[in-house]
Amino acid sequence: MNAQGHPPAIVVGVDGTPASHAALIWATEEAARRGARLRIVHGLGMPVVIGAYGGAGGFAVEDLRQAGHDLLAAGAAYVHRARPEVDVETSLAPEDASAVLLKEAGPEDVIVMGTRGLGGIRAIMLGSVSVRTSSHAPCPVVVVPNLEKPPPRRGRVVVGVDGSDSSRRALRFALHEALVSGSEVVVVNSWQVPLPADAESLAADARALHEETFDRQSEEVVAGLLAEVVDDRTEHLEISAVRTQANPVDALVEASQDADLLVVGSRGQGGVRGLVMGSVSQGVLQHSEVPVAVLPPYSEDE
């Protein structure tokens, strides 16, 4: 049971947009893969509604509440049709969508949302996912792109690592996802070699040595994380590594083009320049064409 008293669940926010339906589709399949409960949530944003309509907003509020119930019922009906084996529950709350998602989820859950939602969903995903969701969510957050139909499964999970605690959690999550979905794992580590101000005058052999040092550090980062994280359950998985001297966002987006899921940490630090929530994770969210799982910077001991 999580902190909210619920069994571990996939928690998906819906708002009636095509993007939130794409998130619902992904969340439904994920719940089926994990054998987990699916919780569909919708936030009314009641303080905003009351502020907009004042004392005469009673009918508008009731209309919105009824529309919310209808939206949740439609979502549950979709799940029953697509995956009748999945247990579904719904939650309608007065708060805005972002607050609902953060309130509903526990450490053992997974939050799922779309990339082009309205109101709180859009704010939590695009405007402040690094500041609010990934900083405060107690669990992984999966952001699903707005696709007309889900692409065929490719059996590949890509994860970015940089040696930080956050990327260690990302690797654990990626291995678990590969385990439940029967996928291979591609571990990506990229770096950019910092050159001195007079880089043009740097001798070719010195530059090569400089790059070789970072390449060796990258190899040690990947090997060290795999040795630490892979266990008896995941040692049989097919795992490969991509190490490259490139911009981290470009490297991750390129490596994940034929993947089912891209996993990143929300705050990276390490000897090799890597995943920093303010740049890499947000850049990946903006440019990835596959679902992205962002691992929050919570303590593994919590």
Query: What residue ranges define each of the domains in the chain, with the CATH number in brackets?
Result: 9-144 (3.40.50.620), 156-295 (3.40.50.620)
The Cα–Cα gap between 8 and 108 comes to 5
Phi, psi dihedral angles at 40 (to 5 degrees): -100, 125
**What tokens does 164 get?**
């930080």
Residue range 65-106, pLDDT digits in tens: 899 999 999 999 999 999 999 999 999 988 777 778 888 888
Asked which of 127-131, 153-157, 167-171, 179-183 is least confident by mean pLDDT, the reply is 127-131
Q: Which of 44-53, 103-112, 208-217, 255-264 has the lowest mean pLDDT?
A: 44-53
Contact yes or no for 249/284 (Cβ under 8 A):
yes
* Total Cβ atoms within 10 A of residue 184: 15
The amino acid occupying position 219 is: E
Q: Per-residue confidence at 178, pLDDT binned at 50, 70, 90?
A: very high
pLDDT digits (tens, 9 = 90+) for 15-57: 888 888 999 999 999 999 999 999 999 988 765 445 444 554 5
pLDDT at 199 over 90: no
6-10, 23-27, 206-210, 241-245: the lowest-pLDDT one: 206-210
Counting residues of the chain whose pLDDT is more than 70, the rounded percentage is: 74
- Please report which confidence band the pLDDT of residue 210 belongs to, taking 50, 70 and 90 as the band edges: low
pTM: 0.81
85's CB contacts (< 8 A; 6+ apart) are 32
Q: Which residue has the higher pLDDT, 25 or 150?
A: 25
